Structure 1
Amino acid sequence: MKPGPLNAITDVPGIQVGHFTDLDNLTGVTVIFPQNGAVAGVDVRGSAPGTRETDLLNPVNLVEQVQAVVLSGGSAYGLEAAAGVMRWLEQQGKGYPVGSAVVPIVPAAVIFDLLVGSSTVRPSAQYGYQAAQNLKGGPVEQGVVGVGTGARNGGLKGGTGTASLELPGGVVVGAIVAANAYGRAHDPITGELYARFLEQNGEFKLKHPPRPLSAPDYSDLFTTSFVPSNTVIGCVATNARLSKAQAQKVAQMAHDGIARAVFPAHTMFDGDVIFCLATGEVEIAGPAELSRLGAVAADVFARALVHGVLHAYSVGGLVSYRDLYEK
């Protein structure tokens, strides 16, 4: 198994990504667009989530496919960005057919970034529309772009990251993540990345050899040195054929990737949300294959989160990982 050619969610055939980045106010929007629609699932694990249209993805509910997923900064205000993506999709004639009209189905989730950059300028419908206009099949820009523009991860600058993996049999799994966790992605004593063991083909491009992890210092957790400004959100995509219930299971298992990459994970200050998109090109066989797909999704999600941290640069009063540990 190896990453796809771009090591990005766009290695999944038919998946496009568009960013809109507001560097003046340090916030932004990322859109994930399955060109022919996709079956979708979601798992909301965090204790402070901000979401839109997630109930629709419940397997007992009517709509089978979504037209896009929106990841936005701006906390609850940022959910407005999805309206702009809906407008763009309507112009393309994409959505759930209702007579002569269409209703685009656009689930969304937001991160809390109001304490980085401006707290009064948040992603709007226009930001979402412009992100949709920027859709492309890769390469995917990472770091201080899109939803990760104002991200803070473990007290350092976070960002947007992506990764992929090709499995035998033609299944591809990709992920895109806003690395914005309360917990750290690195050992505070040695600087070692918790998820470095998942690295594929030297993708992290670190200067130093692996360093030992220190024992966790629980007294260091939840102190005034950490500012609650968090939530990891992201999307896993695959070309496997999944039902809504199976897509929900993959999204659920993908949350293990947060726990592998970040300590502590899923805190009261995080609103962690993961979507899963399945384009349905490759048949998989039974519960065992589904379980393998979910396990791979967790590792790919963790690697994407690490890329979000490593591609970030120092800005907005936050120091990046590379500036702190790599120089």
Structure 2
Amino acid sequence: MTGICAGRVAVVTGAGRGLGRAHALALAAEEARVVVNDLGTTPAGEGASAGPAHEVVEEIRARGGEAVAHTGDVATAEGAASLVDTALAAYGRLDALVNNAGFLRDRMLVNLDEDEWDAVVRVHLKGHFLPLRYAAGHWRAEAKAGREPVARVVNTTSGAGLLGSVGQANYAAAKAGVAALTLVAAAELGRYGVQVNAVAPAARTRMTEGPFAAAMAAPADGFDAMAPANVSPLVVWLASAASAEVTGHVFEAEAGRVTVMEGWHPGPVADKGDRWAPSEVGEAVRELLARTRMPRPVYGAASPARP
């Protein structure tokens, strides 16, 4: 049986471990040729090693697939451009980009310093933007040359970005930015044959160790609900041509569950038809809040109370 990604070339960033590795292996199992990107840093984004990317490449090849390694920093213009160039040089095409690279530097807001903010926003948000920008440039050129792509981008957001997460202001802000970037890219790039979606995964990785270790632990037997490979089937399908006309969406993926996230929608409205006085607008807001749906709580926080 032919895989659903047969003939396609996919790039996966942060693919040396965890979710990225699972995505790369799953794409290769569906006959994609894979560019495995990983800078090989620690969970806090320190150091670099070519080992993880090359190990995944060898694992794919040992299973009969095709893959090449890229060990550049995708949060730099040079690294992102060379990532696209690697796919084109190795396989002559690029069909899918899976943005996954990232690390954590968790702190409560009052203890979070500027370097920790910048480092996390850089790798997650800029590390999504730059590969997307260079891949999109290639696909636009292809479309203008009369070779319209069947291109796919799968970004990685997080429940932290959709709801917030105590102790992760930098990460949550970056992942919220990824969700917004996904919507903008889907709207702008559709004319060039590019579909853009995002996945908010829940799985056991180096980034979920520590305070989440007990909840993420593998069971002694039975279905491992927190295995990274559980998220990959959705990523593979979104990266394939089979996902035609699915774009501009954010999905949560955990265990065997897929959820379409519906985002911001207007709720109750009060319209005076004239300028409000501060005291009366406050009364109107309280009346509106009494009629709204209670928000889901920020991760790590108590459920919000009605004002």
TM-score w.r.t. the length of structure 2 is 0.29
Structure of greater Rg = 2
TM-score w.r.t. the length of structure 1 is 0.28
Choose between structure 1 and 2: higher strand proportion.
Answer: 1
